[in-house]
Structure 1
Amino acid sequence: MHFKQFLTSLTLLFFVNILVAQNYFLEKYEPFNKDIPSPEEFLGYGIGEYHTRHDLIVAYFEELAKVSDKAEIEVYGKTHEKRKLVMLRVSNKENLTNIDDLKQKHLNYLNSVGDEDYSALPVFVNLGYGVHGNEPSSAEAALLVAYTLVASENPEILNYVKNSIVFIDPAINPDGRDRHTQWANQYRSNNLVSDNVEAEHNEAWPKGRTNHYWFDLNRDWLLAVHPESQSKLNWYHSWYPNVTTDFHEMGTNSTYFFEPKRTSALTKPLPPKENYEDLNNMFAKYFQKSLDSIGGFYFTSEAFDGTYPGYGSTYPDLQGGLGLLFEQASSRGHVQDTDFGKITFPFTIRNQYVSSLATLQASVENKDFLRKYQQDFFNSAKAASAKNGVAAYEISEKYDNNRKKAFVDFLLKHNIEVYKKNDQSFIIPLNQPQKRMVQTMFETNKKFVDSVFYDASAWNVVDFYNIDYKELTKSPSLGEKITETSSLVKVEKIIKTNYAYILDWDDYNASAALYFLQTKGLKAASAFKPFTIETTSGVKSFNYGSMMFPVSKQTFDSNKVYEIIAEAQEKFNVPIWAVNSGMSSKGIPLGSRDFIKVDKPKVAMLIGDGVSPYEAGEVWHLLDTRIEMPITKIQLHNFNRVDFSKYNTLVMVSGSYYQLDSLKLEKLQNWVKEGNTLVTIGGASKWAVSKKVVAEKLVVQNKDSVAKRVSYVNAAEDIGKQRLGGAIFEVDLDVSHPLGFGYRDSKIPVYKNNLTFIKSSKNIYSTVAKYTNDPLINGFISPKNLDLLSKSASLIVSPIGRGRVILFADNPNFRGAWYGTNKMFMNALFFGSKIRVPKG
């Protein structure tokens, strides 16, 4: 088909009658069982005529399960906004009747006890759709796929149903989908408007791509921060499908993408070579044939690298399955102009529908290969020698048990075997079915075969949690296998005192406990120097930042104070100690001037057009779900209407902030000068420096006087190399600074995914964290950017009048997973107003 024909086919779709349009999808698979309602009959409109709400998708799946013995529905979780996460299980009656037995036999293959009759079982296929809410075509295709498999009496479909168990997940991100669905239907005209600037095609901030907290769930398969991902992982590790699809959309002027992806940038990819070569090429022939049959244009291999293991199309590759990515040019509404004519919503849906059925065909016709491959995958995980002779990893954390528990919780979500060595240490052996996932969590990479990444280039999650670990060349004898973590944090129950209580600030949950206690009306003072003191449980040493609650200074009697303290300890499982005297055996006494009262944070954050919804969502999620601290989200267009005197702390994440003209900038600066705290992250720190909000400077590259001449064809690659998609670096943190309170080791990992490079402050006390001499821990950074990084600071406090700006060059809250640097951000909120920058 030539592009002229392609244009004509798109334009014809725009005028087609909706009744005929349903045949446009389905006619190949006639006849259909008339007792099974089609999506059109159930919804009252044809697929592609409107965007379908998630509750209607669920209702249709429930109807199919009700009227047919070929379908069963399972609710496997709920979203933040309490929408159902559902899986429609489709096969023939015999298979579904014996599903428990088939599941066990399937899992037996993973444990190397299945026999070699690989054709005896149906293939398990998970058709996953809609992880990005404003990429809506795939969930509509899911309705058509479900109807086809349940209702079609065509021999081809009957064969698929007989030889497969199909799990249809119509929308992995229902919250984002409904946000976009409401937008598209709200602006839909009876006379469809294809103009690109039409409101229907241009959602308002934060758009529907993300979930409730504005996170990209397609990056969360590995990090498992959100209930959508946690529920999906729990489901996935109970079934281990042979094939998993991941349907997406891309730019309107694109065509269609299917795998293979661009070559992995890792020198030694963790999935076996059979995965990214044999299986991908095997399935690609089916996609090519199916799209050729409808005159579809497509591309493959030249984009969407599979390096990051946390996508819906890459995580299955580390579980013995085949993950498959599809990308469809988006109509972003119901019809939109492109360079080659009009692209319609039905057109985008059809490509996803056709590729779904091609996936089933390929899976059924190669099920023996897929099943043997998965069995071999797990056998090789247990048999293959460890990289660099590593047999196991030992993790330890002496001072922060809740952060350690969070990391062990994380490992268990991925079905990784963890064994207890003692109260501080755990062993994670490589000789286990999830060996490749263990390698993912711990191994580092500094050399790559490519230097352009679609996403992050570093993801060794042990550094995300700032957990000490060491490689073991011999696997030690394994102790108790950890199956749950509720008993990992044991705190001694607080004893009542009439003098004072001390909260250990080293603990990750200390911030949440402090805010809770402040909300209950208790007054707290923080130790700006360490001390050792006799507690009711013996002599204890306390670090910088430890919180003291003097009983006699409270507005409640001692019984009520104890009740509130005990409630906080039980709620957050934090170490709190009682003392009966203020005299320390070492360091400052409890009456010292270095115990400074800490005020309750009153936090706001600027959001809206031009602001990164990802970073804003990370802040919101951290405060809302872990600290239980409300944060006021202020739309930039309301800036002049806001009385900022209600807040003592304002957060600005990466963004352009073009709405802040000179008058608004002056209002912001005056608010800071009055003694308040502005916290900037990443691009916002660069903005604050460039707008001269602070008297700091950026590190800039010395430009060559004579520009070099390079080939035009390499432009995208050359520019891409200078992006910093995400890498991990080591910084030297001043643990005596209030922003460093609660840290014991001055060397900590940080995550950088921006090009914000700030010079160390001229004030010798203001640079709180600076990159070390050899800072790269894991990931890719170009030599040019590494040079800039080596001359810059990671964290600075810059005074303005009686206030201050706290500038994070990096992102301390990246994707909700950086437990190791969250504390620095929380310190900025709790201690910001107490930071007095000495002249130096």
Structure 2
Amino acid sequence: MSYVFNLLFLSLIFLSQSSSAVQDKDYLPADTTYLPAVTTPTQALGSEVGEWHVRHDQLVSYMRTLAAQSERVSLVDIGRTHENRPLVLLAFTSAANQQNLANLQAEHIASLNGKSVSNSPLIIWMGYSVHGNESSGSNAALLIAYYLAAGQNEQIEQLLKDNIVLLDPSLNPDGLSRFAQWANMHKSRHLVTDPQNREHQEAWPSSRTNHYWFDLNRDWLLQVHPESKARVAQFHQWRPHVLTDFHEMGSDSTFFFQPGIPSRKNPWTPQENVELTDALGQFHARALDKNKQLYFTQESYDDFYYGKGSTYPDALGSIGILFEQASSRGHLRDTANGVLSFADTIQNQVTTSISTFAGALANKDGLLAYQQAFDNNTLKLSKKDALTGYVVQEARDYTRMQDFLTVLQAHHIDYRPLKRDIEVDDVPFKAVSSVFIPVQQAQYRLIKSLFSTRKSFDDNTFYDVSNWNLALAFNLQYAPVESKVDFDTNRNFTGKTFQSELLDKAYAYAFSWDDSSAATLLSRLLKAKVKVQVAGSPFVAQTSQGAVNFTAGSVVIPSAFAQPENLIGLLQDMSQDLPITLWSIDSGLTKQGIDLGSRQMHNLSLPKVLLVGGKETSQYEAGEVWHHFDQQLELPLTIVDLDRLASLDLTNYSHIIWVNGTYKNVSETNVKSLSSWLKDGGVLIGQKNAVAWFADKGWLKARTKTASDIALAFDSKGLQYSDLESFSAKQRIAGAVFTTNLDVSHPLAFGFEREALPMFKNSNQILLRPDAPFITVAKYTDKPLTAGYAAPELQDLVANSAAIVAHQVGKGRVIAFNDNMNFRGTWQGTSRLFTNAIFMASFINVPG
């Protein structure tokens, strides 16, 4: 216990504009000596920690140096980022333990399944800077790694003798690298503290995000990006007892550590988790008190969304801890609390890293007991559930179903194919296209959250989304099941099979638009200069394998056109990794529906798409569109900043996409150019408040409710000042699922089968349904809220409003999505609508 109560922390050293840099050892406990053979951070960097922002390559190089020099350290490469930077994870423990690390890891995992293990090690995972411009964490990681690799004192010996510290020095290497470059390139020799200085004001997009401008702290659950996939895989291999998540917040703040607001935890997180978090918090408070640092706890942030680094562990028996440090956003900055240096911010992250070790050791017995009992307690809880599980199916879109199952696999959620067809609430679920997810398994709490349709909570104020039902996000048909279901424990889900037969001298070749991967194959063919047509109506064609039904949107490759040499070889190569069946058609005369020479067969060329980004636009939504084009569609996308729009020749582009943004300052000259381009045949696509701008400019024949109109729906009579926060939260849709009625006959709905389509909504914008017929593609239902929280007043406003409007303008088309179709790269149900806006717009033949 001497380690717990006698830790000596160095008081923070204030850096003025002319002061010298803080030395490495000054950040660390004063009672520590260091092995001289181990390289210090300063020796590796050529400067003191905090003097410059560390680059990711420097950070990784130093970690590799420690692994080579210290017998306490091992390092593994766990993956690569989008920009091909290495993701590394270090394990710190005694030299003896390093020789037996794999066995210790296996024994720890075995202990979670009820097997008794004596002298179980405590596993502490230290994670730093998931937001690249919150870089004090990764810079602190340099010092913590040195402290553990080379430090010599009683506390370190006790920590490493019977425990393992895992260190993830940079959760977002691409963002960290981008920010280090920005901060360092704008650093003056005489530091500038003015918050308006360019050093403190990043250009768009900010380094908070990864390569595609996603917030990785929201991706632990969704598993869209390689960083999250690698990290969650390691999490399940280690199942740490404590996982830390070091962040930064606004510069005028102080320091925050969890617990957060008690009423805002996830309802499936045990109360004992909060109690252990609070027990660790006592050590952070004591350490920060010693350094005379201001801090707060239990009055901000929540533990609700299981997709964040500090909450995902809570669903799985670990204690996730969020730290938030006021940010210097550069090297030295004026704040409401005085001048804040980069070294100050690093110091607090170092201090609370070490207090985490102290608190974890002091509470080791409790942490071990909590986790070892967690799976059994969860299983007991699941057996009390009235449900036996959830059945999920998707008969036509194999890609979407497989992507959903891949997410389940990443979280070690067990599922099995059905043995036979079943019916739930009069809905048939076919064995060939369905899986059953039993609730009686270790991931029960996570499963209940992933299928939650809860609409009311003890505290309806949300920092982030209030629902993340994955089946709704993927637009999969699913149902909760109360009765016993026969599922196959001896085989994996395979779905339907895909067997193409491509014959020489066929009249044409074709594939259906049913699968999401059809758009990928279409993009590949267009880039290879294969001439294709798209069917505006369904047809039944005679193929080499009999009559085949082709839905609207199906792609036809006629032999009548001049095609590239070795067309069959191209088709085989481009489709071999996709779940697509290609058919050889015998004749242009079909058995039913349009013929292959119909006017409803539209020739399609490679779209030239422009995305408007830059300052005044949402970096997240722009990144989601970019990611969808690059990763799903494999289609080139030109991204141009808004302030450069006037310099472009718009006739070079077939489509222009506008995400959520502020467009009131777009010049009249640009507006006139866009109007001409649109009327001459361009396709104008907008989402969220870009839609309101379209309406304001007269392009979109619809209108939105004003903010003042929406505010009038809420009654504030009788409220006190203490009600302000909850009243404000009530007027905001933080993120919930609403159901729409989709016109499945519309070209934007090609590939859809069901009229009911869940949409994710995280804005208050209400798009009124136009009076004109045929232009409302989707509208919200009478009672639209499906999952998550929205105030009754907002539910009434959303009900029967328009979700998608599309019509002609001259020779062009305008397509308005009132909400985000590509939310966090996961809402594949609605991203198909966005895909259709690119490839199927020519079939929209209704004037506004």
Instruction: Compute the displacement of 1:690 (Å).
Output: 3.0
1:182 equivalent in structure 2: 181
Q: Select between 233-242 and 210-219 the one with higher mean Cα deviation.
A: 233-242
Of residues 299, 306, 309, the one that matches 2:296 is 299
Q: 2:497 aligns with which of 472, 490, 494?
A: 490
Tell me how far 1:540 sits from its aligned partner: 2.3
Aligned counterparts of 2:91 and 2:26: Cα–Cα separation in 1: 25
Q: Which residue of 2 aligns with 1:616?
A: 622
After TM superposition, give the deviation of residue 692 of structure 1 in Å: 3.3
Higher mean Cα deviation, 68-77 or 217-226? 68-77
State whether residues 264 and 306 of structure 1, in contact with CA within 8 Å, keep that contact through their aligned partners in structure 2. no
Task: Say whether 1:753 aligns with 2:752.
Answer: no
CA spacing shift, 1:773–1:89, aligned 2, 3 Å: same
Which structure 2 residues correspond to residues 391-402 of structure 1 after superposition, within 5 A?
Answer: 391-402=388-399
**Corresponding residue SS for 1:191:** coil
Partners of 2:501 and 2:653 lie apart in 1 by 33
Equivalent residue for 1:527? 535
Give ranges in structure 2 of 5+ residues lacking alignment.
Answer: 1-10, 419-430
Deviation at 1:272, TM superposition (A): 1.6
How far, CA to CA, are the matches of 2:17 and 2:523 in structure 1?
60
Aligned-partner residue type, residue 53 of structure 1: R
1:491-512 per-residue CA deviation (whole Å, 9 max, x = no partner) reads 1122315212221101010111
4+ residue segments displaced more than 6 Å? none
Q: Deviation at 1:709?
A: 6.4
Alignment of 1:469-508 (within 5 A): 469-480=478-489, 488=495, 490-496=497-503, 497-508=505-516
**Residue range with higher mean Cα deviation, 173-182 or 393-402:** 393-402
Partner AA of 1:142 in structure 2: A
Contact in 2 for aligned 1:675/1:803 (Cα 8 Å): yes
C-alpha spacing 1:684/1:703, structure 2 compared with 1 (3 Å): closer
318-327 vs 707-716, which moves further: 707-716
Query: 1:315-371: CA deviations, max 9, x gaps?
Result: 011111110000000011111001121011111111111111111111122222212
Establish whether residue 273 from structure 1 lines up as the match of residue 271 from structure 2: yes
Aligned to 2:166: 167
Aligned to 1:683: 689
Pairing of 1:359-374 with structure 2 (within 5 A):
359-374=356-371
Structure 1 CA distance for aligned equivalents of residues 603 and 779 of structure 2: 28
Query: 1:19 Cα shift?
Result: 5.8
Amino acid in the other structure paired with 2:272: E
Q: Does 1:48 align with 2:47?
A: no
Shift of 1:296: 1.0
> Do 1:218 and 1:310's aligned partners in 2 also have CA atoms closer than 8 Å?
yes
2:91 corresponds to: 89
Q: Compute the displacement of 1:707 (Å).
A: 7.7
SS of residue in 2 equivalent to 1:82: coil
> Could you give the per-residue CA deviations for residues 741-787 of structure 1, whole angstroms, max 9, x where no partner exists?
00011111111111221111222110000001111110111222222
Q: Does 1:407 align with 2:414?
A: no
Partner of 1:445: 454
The amino acid that maps onto 2:704 is: L
Residue 4 of structure 1: aligned partner: none
Partner Cα distance (2:28, 2:255) in 1: 20
How far apart, in 1, do the equivalents of 2:218 and 2:253 lie?
23
Normalization by structure 1: what TM-score?
A: 0.95
Residue 3 of structure 2 aligns with which residue?
Answer: none
Determine if the alignment matches structure 1 residue 128 to structure 2 residue 137. Answer: no
- Of residues 26, 29, 32, the one that matches 1:30 is 32
1:801 aligned onto 2:810? yes
TM-superposed deviation, 1:169? 0.4
CA 102–359 in structure 1, closer or farther in 2 if over 3 Å, else same:
same
- Kindly provide the amino acid, as one letter, of the partner of residue 699 in structure 1: K
Alpha carbons of 1:581 and 1:305: their partners in 2 closer, same or farther (altered >3 Å)? same
Q: Give the 5 Å matches for 1:99-498.
A: 99-115=101-117, 117=118, 120-265=119-264, 269-276=267-274, 278-385=275-382, 389-421=386-418, 422-480=431-489, 488=495, 490-496=497-503, 497-498=505-506
What is aligned with 2:551? Answer: 543
The residue type paired with residue 242 of structure 1 is H
Structure-2 separation of matches of 1:174 and 1:565:
38
- Mapped to 2, the partners of 1:679 and 1:474 lie a distance apart of 46
Q: TM-score, normalised by structure 2?
A: 0.94
Tell me whether 1:698 sits opposite 2:704 in the alignment.
yes
In 2, the alpha carbon distance for the partners of 1:333 and 1:265 equals 32
Contact 2:12 2:347 in 1 (8 A): no
How far is 1:662 from its partner?
1.1
* Counterpart secondary structure, 2:34: coil
Instruction: Report the more deviating stretch, 378-387 or 757-766.
Output: 378-387
Q: Which deviates more from structure 2 when the two are superposed, residues 704-713 or residues 365-374?
A: 704-713
Does the 8 Å contact 2:17/2:191 carry over to 1?
Answer: no
- Alignment partners' CA distance in 2, 1:709 and 1:337: 40
| Mapped partners of 2:782, 2:402: distance in 1 | 32
Q: What is the CA–CA distance in structure 1 between the aligned matches of 2:760 and 2:157, rounded to whole Å?
A: 51
Query: For 1:400 and 1:554, how far apart are their aligned partners in 2?
Result: 31
Kindly state the Cα deviation for residue 608 of structure 1 after the two structures are TM-superposed.
Answer: 0.4
Deviates more, 1:257-266 or 1:702-711: 702-711
- Matched-pair contact (CA < 8 Å) for 1:79–1:85: yes
RMSD: 2.0
Question: Amino acid of the residue matched to residue 822 of structure 2?
Answer: N
Aligned 1:533-682 pairs, distance under 5 A? 533-556=541-564, 560-682=566-688
Taking the aligned partners of 1:568 and 1:488, their CA distance within structure 2 comes to 21
Q: 2:822 aligns with which of 801, 813, 821?
A: 813
CA distance, structure 2, for counterparts of residue 215 and residue 679 of structure 1: 21
User: What secondary structure, in the 3-state scheme, does the structure 2 residue paired with 1:66 have?
Assistant: helix
Alpha carbons of structure 1 residues 15 and 608: separation in structure 2 relative to 1, 3 Å: closer
Task: State the SS of the aligned residue for 1:209.
Answer: coil
How far apart in 1 are the matches of 2:439 and 2:50? Answer: 49
CA contact (8 A) 2:455 2:788 kept: yes
How far does residue 602 in structure 1 lie from its aligned partner after superposition? Answer: 1.2
Identity across aligned pairs (percent)? Answer: 38
Letter of the 2:497 counterpart: K
Residue 6 of structure 1 corresponds to: none
- In the alignment of these two chains, the number of paired residues is 822
Shifted more, 232-241 versus 711-720: the winner is 711-720
Distance 1:329 1:704 in 2: 37
What SS is found at the alignment partner of 2:628? helix
Deviation sequence 1:157-182 (CA, Å, 0-9, x none): 22112232001101010100110100
| 1:404 positional shift | 0.9
Inter-partner Cα distance in structure 1 for 2:21 and 2:452: 55
CA distance in 1, matches of 2:373, 2:491: 27
Contact 2:21–2:50 (CA under 8 A) maintained in structure 1: no
Q: What is the correspondence of 1:769-808 to structure 2 with a 5 Å cutoff?
A: 769-808=778-817
Asked if structure 2 preserves the Cα contact closer than 8 Å seen for 1:54 and 1:177, the reply is: yes
Q: Check 1:105–1:27 CA distance in 2 against 1; reply closer, same or farther (3 A cut).
A: closer
Q: Does the aligned pair in 2 maintain the 1:123–1:164 contact within 8 Å?
A: yes
The letter for the 1-side match of 2:524 is F
